[in-house]
Amino acid sequence: MKRHHVLGVIGGGFMANAILRGALAKGVLSAEDVLVCEPSEERRKAFSEAGIVVSSENRDAVGCDYVLLAVKPQTFPAVAEALRGETFPPVISIMAGKTKSSIRSATGAATIARVMPNLPCSVGAGMTAVDASELEEDARRFVLGLFFSVGDVIETSETELDAVTALSGSGPAYIYLFLRALIAAGEEQGLSREQAQTLAFQTMEGGLKMARTSGKSLDELIAAVSSKGGTTVAALDVFRAEGFEQSVLHAVDAAARRAKELSR
């Protein structure tokens, strides 16, 4: 007898793998609840070794209770075309930029949740924004539980998701870029790479913990590190003179505009 699956996943890339590993580890799903549809034989083998049923045919996913669209936005038109005429269960999309309207137009799906997770989902420390406004309560709880298994979750409207994509979806890369520059700066000042990396990572981690728990505003925390005429002020003056904060605003705006372009 053919087993019924709760979640059919179209696309077996890095993010799908991270989400499923978290869901299985937290008991949100069992391996037998999942079907992954993926063209790569190598990726199918990796999921199969974890006890997950796999298929090379995307059409198999639409027979599940839910479908997770975990393909690149640029790949989606071809995927949707191959599924034309299928009747979809509730769809969960993690594609950047692709609106519910565009997904519905391409697939005929009646009910769609849009979700924007980020890379730290792979280590259980993700940040995910969910628009589940079309879902019934049981389906909404399922989607929230799926992404709480890999980190924190907030609910947003669809109109906010391009901003979410630009801030938290792309945001880990901004942090890694800053850390890379900070480590390089430490090396430039004579530290070993290992020393600079240890100092930079713990400084980032400790600073984040204080920002979360101290009860002080970010401006107050900046002031607490900054003695008049001291070293911190000298560094901050350079950041301001070279437009650091403005460049962050411009970068996030560029990411948000690109997310909008991907919806076309």
Whether 87 and 61 have beta carbons less than 8 Å apart is answered as: no
Model confidence, pTM: 0.90
Q: Kindly report, residue by residue over 55-73, the tens digit of the pLDDT.
A: 999 999 999 999 999 999 8
- What is the model's pLDDT at position 259? 85
**Which residues does 15 contact at the CB level (< 8 Å), separation at least 6?**
70, 94, 117, 119, 121, 122
State the number of CA atoms in the 13 A half-sphere of 149 facing the CB: 20
Q: Kindly report, residue by residue over 189-241, the tens digit of the pLDDT.
A: 999 999 999 999 999 999 999 999 999 999 999 999 999 999 999 999 999 99
- Three-class secondary structure assignment of 95-115: CCCCCHHHHHHHHCCCCEEEE
The yes-or-no verdict on residue 263 having pLDDT over 90 is no
Q: Kindly report, residue by residue over 154-182, the tens digit of the pLDDT.
A: 999 999 999 999 999 999 999 999 999 99
Q: Which helix (H) or strand (E) holds 133?
A: none
- What is the model's pLDDT at position 97? 84
- What is the model's pLDDT at position 2? 52
40, 71, 143, 218, 224 from 139: Cα distances, Å: 30, 21, 6, 38, 46
Nearest to 179 by CA among 198, 163, 160: 198
- What is the model's pLDDT at position 1? 33
User: Domains along the chain?
Assistant: 7-159 (3.40.50.720), 171-262 (1.10.3730.10)
- For the segment 26-32, the average pLDDT, to the nearest whole number, is 94
Q: Kindly report, residue by residue over 3-17, the tens digit of the pLDDT.
A: 689 999 999 999 999
- Residue written as tokens 């994509």? 165
Q: Kindly report, residue by residue over 94-103, the tens digit of the pLDDT.
A: 998 899 999 9
Torsion sign (Cα): 214, 215, 219, 220: negative
